[in-house]
Structure 1
Amino acid sequence: SLNSGFFMNEKHSDHVEYLCDHNFNFATISGAFFILVFIFSIAGNGLLLCVLVVYESLKNVTNLFVLNLACSDLIFTVTLPFWATNFLHHWVFGDFCCKFMIAAYFVGLYSSVILLTAMTVDRFITVVLHNWPSNCVRRQRCAVGACAAAWVISIGASLSDAINVKAETNWDNLTTCGPSSDDKLGYYLQVSLLFFLPFVIIVFCYSAILKTVLQSANRKRHRTVVVVLCIVAAFFICWGPYNILLLIETLYTPESCDGQRRLIIAYYICQILAFSHCCMNPLLYLLSQKLRTHLLHLLRCEKLRMKKREKGITQDTSFFQNAMSMRQNSAVMLELQAK
């Protein structure tokens, strides 16, 4: 399955170790890089979630997709310290954690692909099929259904990957978390259905969207299309080379030391590029002027200050009203005493 490609470095390193001399260890660089990506992704996606929850309306379909994508990125991000430890040292977390982290890794990956595809189809319906009989409530329900389906499908697909991995101790007394079988047919099916098929759908939808936008007289109405396009393009630019390399690896294994070394180096570079995607989305969302403004307000705690100010005004108004009421009551009492 796809996890056989994920652990390509371990599978090849065992094979190459007896035949070739590796003077440079890319695993150390990958492990250190994963820790940096983890820090930036937690900070960026955490702030994005706060902005969406505090300032934005989650009834907006695009905001709903962005919220789910941020959650997907965070799920993927949680696994990075474990892979970093695996690269820098070895797998020390046991068999259950091995299966759980593989499941979380693929849930984050698959849900991102499905959510991006759903977001693109939503843009296609809105921009190209603008005469499609639809209303806001129906669109919101479809978006919620698409998000729920994305999580159900990604969790279901990740279970097969989790079942096929286990923690094993090698001859050198180092434990690795890797595939227990090499199921190439399962790999081809999952990559086709959950990466290349969504890619074809997205290319088709955005070809029609861009054609419609370029023919439109008022292009400012379609700024959301640009942001969504950048988000989708970033995903496939990051993950495309990695998945293509995994596909090549299942079909071709070089026999020479130079060929094996080049393939391993290419694998590590593509893996670093792919894993860095989880911290890129928050940067791309900053293309929106509104989100940049909300982020500044969030960092300055202006929402909290506004609430405190409103609370203070309410208290002052209440105090003033009570004082006026007491003054009127005193006046009435004096008049009664005078009579």
Structure 2
Amino acid sequence: MSDTGVNNSGGVVYFCDQMFDFETISGAIFILIFILSLIGNILLLCVIFIGNNLKNVTNLFILNLAFSDLVFTVTLPFWAVYHLHHWVFGNFACKLMTAAYIVGLYSSVLLLTAMTVDRFITVVLHNWQINPTRRQRCAGGTCAAAWVISIAASVSDAVKVKVETEWNNLFKCEDPSVGSDVNLGYYLQVSLLFFLPFAIIVFCYAAILKTVLQTSNRRRLRTVVAVLCIVTAFFICWGPYNILLVVMSLYEPVGCYAKERLFNAYSICRILAFSHCCMNPLLYMLSQRLRRLLLQLFHCENGRRKNREKSNGQNTSVVQNVAFTAQNSAVMLELPSK
């Protein structure tokens, strides 16, 4: 991708040389992530529904997280085409995909935070006498609130973005507004919906690990470790990207080499962040129960296939026997009488 920025060092204005083409690589990787995420999250939903244990609070959170990942996944083909070519889908799709992107991101953060707090209450505050029905209702209300908050957060970004024409007559889908008020709103949103949940999760897991290490309940330890891996993977993927966005809003690189390094770092962090949606199904398989349900799903399909093949084989044999009998009968009828 050509860098259209200029360097004004010493009063001389010149264009930067050709940069490494991360746009094409990003677009191709987004398509791969889309395929993997779609397959993985649909399989995960099938496993959860086959288990028929939606009354389990952890499963309820995982179900909502899978839907959140799918909402984010739907946007990937549009961003892939955008990076491979330019924005060809119009202004409405620009706003809709931006909103879906924000909903998928922030709903994941809030749901992971809620799941961590639930683990905190279950493990650390285990002396509380919590009614299972009440706990399930609270989890359902929390999931609904996470969706409402993330949708509300997406509205402002969806309203701001629009399709504009670049200098080379290509279209881009971006937020054209600039200024300190815009940056303040962005800092507030990222702080409340990313860094604050991160602080809550760190606090909860510090207390959870301290409590679990003092006990010998291996089953509880496995559950805590599985949820910890899911949360850690999210912040490893999305943390560098959000931090870099804040840095880019505060720092203006001087010179083509600095611009290229910052752009390359941004592209790598964005690929890492977007890949999170296809990592979740693999992390969920850390649960022995989910692995068992997945195996049951494939065994069920294999059993049905074998039954169909066996049934078809039996039907074929019957047809062949009938045909052979009919043929023999016809031959006997054609024999000349003595």
Cα distance, 1:133 vs structure 2: 2.9
Moved over 6 A (4+): none
1:241 aligns with 2:240: yes
Residue in 2 aligned with 1:329? none
Is the CA contact (8 Å cut-off) linking 1:35 and 1:84 kept in structure 2?
yes
Q: TM-score, normalised by structure 2?
A: 0.85
1:22 is displaced (CA, Å) by: 2.3
Match of 1:32 among 19, 28, 35: 28
Correspondence 1:65-76 to 2 at 5 A: 65-76=61-72
Partner of 2:171: 175
Aligned to 1:49: 45
1:297 is displaced (CA, Å) by: 1.7
User: Alpha-carbon deviation of 1:293?
Assistant: 1.7
Is 1:197 the counterpart of 2:193? The answer is no
Paired-residue identity, %: 70
Equivalent residue, structure 2, for 1:315: none
Q: What's the CA shift for 1:170?
A: 1.5
Amino acid at match of 1:38: F
Measured against aligned partners, the alpha-carbon deviations of 1:169-189 in whole angstroms (never above 9, x if no partner) come to 122110000002121011100
Shift of 1:292: 1.3
- Listed as ranges, the matches of 1:106-255 within 5 Å are 106-182=102-178, 183-255=182-254
Secondary structure at the aligned position of 2:275 is classed as helix
After superposition, the C-alpha distances for 1:118-144 in whole angstroms (9 at most, x for unaligned) are 000000000000012311001001100
Q: What secondary structure does 2:191 align onto?
A: helix
Residues in 2 aligned to 1:111 and 1:130: alpha-carbon distance in whole angstroms: 27
* 1:100 maps to which of 88, 96, 100: 96
**Contact map agreement 2:3 2:16 (CA 8 A) in 1:** no
Structure 2: distance between partners of 1:20 and 1:56: 58
Offset from partner CA, 1:222-261 (integer Å, 9 cap, x none): 3211111000000000000000000100110111111111
Q: What's the offset of the Cα at 1:286? A: 1.2
User: How much has 1:218 moved relative to structure 2?
Assistant: 2.2
Task: Report Cα offsets for 1:146-165 as digits up to 9, x if no partner.
Answer: 00000000000000010110
Aligned twin of 2:330: none
The offset of 1:304, in angstroms, is 7.9
Counterpart residue type for residue 107 of structure 2: S
Tell me the equivalent position of 2:268: 269
Mapped to 1, the partners of 2:71 and 2:140 lie a distance apart of 19
CA spacing shift, 1:247–1:23, aligned 2, 3 Å = closer
Higher relative contact order (Cα pairs below 8 Å, separated by 6+ residues): 1
From 6, 15, 24, the counterpart of 2:5: 15
- Matched residue type, 1:199: F
The answer on whether the counterparts of 1:16 and 1:260 sit within 8 Å (CA) in structure 2 is no
Q: Which amino acid aligns with 1:269?
A: I
| SS of residue in 1 equivalent to 2:164 | strand
Equivalence for 1:81: 77
Match of 2:314 in 1: none
Structure 1: runs of 5 or more not aligned: 1-8, 310-339
- Change over 3 Å in CA distance of 1:13–1:111 after alignment to 2: farther
* Inter-CA distance 56–104: structure 2 relative to 1 (3 Å threshold): same
**DSSP 3-state at the match of 2:163:** strand
